[in-house]
């Protein structure tokens, strides 16, 4: 990565800051564009000490900020968005404004700057109510939230910009990412940091529903690997693999169109919420054995939640050579160690 310059939007957030630290460790120059809507300055503590790092404080809804941040960059890893399904149900206009309006501005600025590739955070929520499992990229159902719609519209824009202007794009449909720095606080916190934070404080974790809902939980280091491979795998290799994959799946693929693909990024295994609590308790009991006795509380299911989620990672493996290094349980051990040190 030495000699390359990356723009990471949303770099003060959970996924973005982990991407930045990895890129810097590999010798890359990195620019972070963030308005700190949900990101934290402390996530950039290590990066800020590195002279290959530049923080550009700005908003992806402001085209000038996008233009200034992307100058001289080889690759964009676009993570900035307002995450969370419930947040988008409560305030669909804000999610649309940032996740679609901001996305198009950033994509346009990247195209104008002539970047080599635009890799962006898509989402498993795009599968909506499609019943098939595991989820394969070309089969999806009705969207269940404004958030899901915004992420799908981004995919359409990426395809369209590739066709119209030739900018290469890869969307990574993340499945329930977890790990160090994911925020445990606030109304829209994700389930793993929320449960870990409750358990560390000997408070009951709340499960929405009976705990049988399941997710394909994906450790952050797998997601970092996916982003780097999505950015740097040569175009001809991706196109060649995509032709074979399309043939195998009997789907249309036109190798003469500029590259714009969407790929699932997950571990490829599903864990129920009941099992998740057991794994978290086991991992945290290495630090405090009383955590094993904290009871779980069950309450009603939430609007917009899908019962199960499981990815096929065949396409990711074929196109960019993605092979997740951390299983769910390995990731949980890593994450719990980090949270115990940082939250206690």
Residues in touch with ligand NAD (CB under 6 A): 10, 12-16, 33-39, 59-61, 79-83, 98, 102, 121, 123, 174, 176-177, 190
Other C-beta atoms within 10 Å of 221: how many? 18
User: Roughly how many angstroms between the first and final C-alpha of the chain, as a whole number?
Assistant: 36
Closest CA to 289 of 203, 199, 204, 206: 199
Closest separation in Å from C-beta 232 to ligand NAD: 19
| Run of H or E residues at 305 | none
* Cβ-based nearer residue to ligand NAD, 168 or 183: 183
Closest separation in Å from C-beta 236 to ligand NAD: 28
Other C-beta atoms within 10 Å of 116: how many? 15
259: DSSP letter:
P
Give me the sheet containing 29-34, strands edge to edge. 53-57, 29-34, 5-9, 75-78, 117-123, 169-174, 260-265
CB neighbours of 30 closer than 8 A, spacing ≥ 6?
Answer: 5, 6, 7, 8, 11, 20, 23, 24, 47, 52, 53, 54
* Cβ-based nearer residue to ligand NAD, 199 or 224: 224
Phi, psi of 71 (to 5 degrees): -55, 125
Phi, psi of 173 (to 5 degrees): -80, 95
Tally of helices (H runs) and strands (E runs) in the chain: 13, 13
* Cβ-based nearer residue to ligand NAD, 15 or 283: 15
147 a catalytic residue: yes
Closest separation in Å from C-beta 233 to ligand NAD: 20
Phi, psi of 222 (to 5 degrees): -65, -40
Closest separation in Å from C-beta 195 to ligand NAD: 14
Q: How far apart are CA 342 and CA 33, in angstroms?
A: 25
Closest separation in Å from C-beta 147 to ligand NAD: 7
Tokens of 296: 């779980």
Which residue in the list 147, 157, 339, 340 is annotated as catalytic?
147
Closest separation in Å from C-beta 285 to ligand NAD: 25
| Sign of the Cα pseudo-torsion (181, 187, 188, 189, in order) | positive
* Cβ-based nearer residue to ligand NAD, 266 or 294: 266
Just list the catalytic residues: 147
């Amino acid at each position: 990565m030495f000699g390359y310059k990356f723009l990471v939007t949303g770099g003060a957030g959970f996924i973005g800051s982990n991407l930045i630290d990895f890129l810097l460790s590999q010798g890359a120059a990195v620019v972070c564009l963030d308005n700190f809507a949900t990101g934290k300055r402390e996530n950039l503590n290590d990066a800020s000490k590195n002279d290959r790092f530049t923080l550009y404080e700005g908003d992806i809804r402001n085209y000038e900020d996008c233009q200034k941040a992307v100058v001289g960059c080889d690759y964009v890893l676009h993570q900035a968005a307002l995450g969370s399904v419930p947040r988008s149900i409560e305030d669909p206009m804000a999610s649309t404004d940032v996740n679609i309006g901001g996305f198009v501005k950033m994509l346009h600025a990247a195209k104008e700057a002539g970047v080599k590739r635009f890799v962006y955070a898509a989402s498993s929520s795009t599968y909506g109510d499609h019943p098939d499992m595991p989820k394969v990229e070309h089969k999806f159902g009705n969207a269940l939230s404004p958030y899901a719609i915004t992420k799908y519209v981004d995919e359409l824009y990426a395809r369209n910009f590739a066709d119209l202007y030739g900018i290469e794009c890869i969307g990574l449909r993340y499945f329930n990412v977890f790990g160090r720095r994911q925020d445990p606080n606030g109304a829209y916190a994700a389930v793993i940091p929320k449960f870990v934070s409750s358990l560390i404080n000997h408070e009951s974790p709340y499960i929405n529903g009976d705990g049988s809902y399941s997710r394909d939980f994906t450790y952050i280091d797998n997601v970092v690997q996916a982003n780097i491979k999505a950015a740097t795998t040569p175009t001809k290799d991706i196109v060649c693999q995509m032709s074979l994959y399309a043939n195998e799946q009997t789907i249309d693929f036109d190798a003469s169109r500029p590259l714009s693909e969407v790929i699932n990024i997950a571990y490829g295994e599903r864990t129920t919420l009941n099992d998740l609590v057991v794994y978290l308790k086991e991992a945290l009991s290495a630090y405090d054995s009383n955590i094993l006795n904290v009871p779980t509380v069950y309450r009603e299911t939430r609007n917009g939640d899908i019962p199960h989620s499981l990815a096929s990672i065949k396409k990711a493996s074929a196109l960019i050579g993605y092979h997740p290094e951390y299983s769910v349980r390995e990731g949980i051990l890593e994450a719990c160690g980090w949270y115990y040190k940082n939250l206690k």
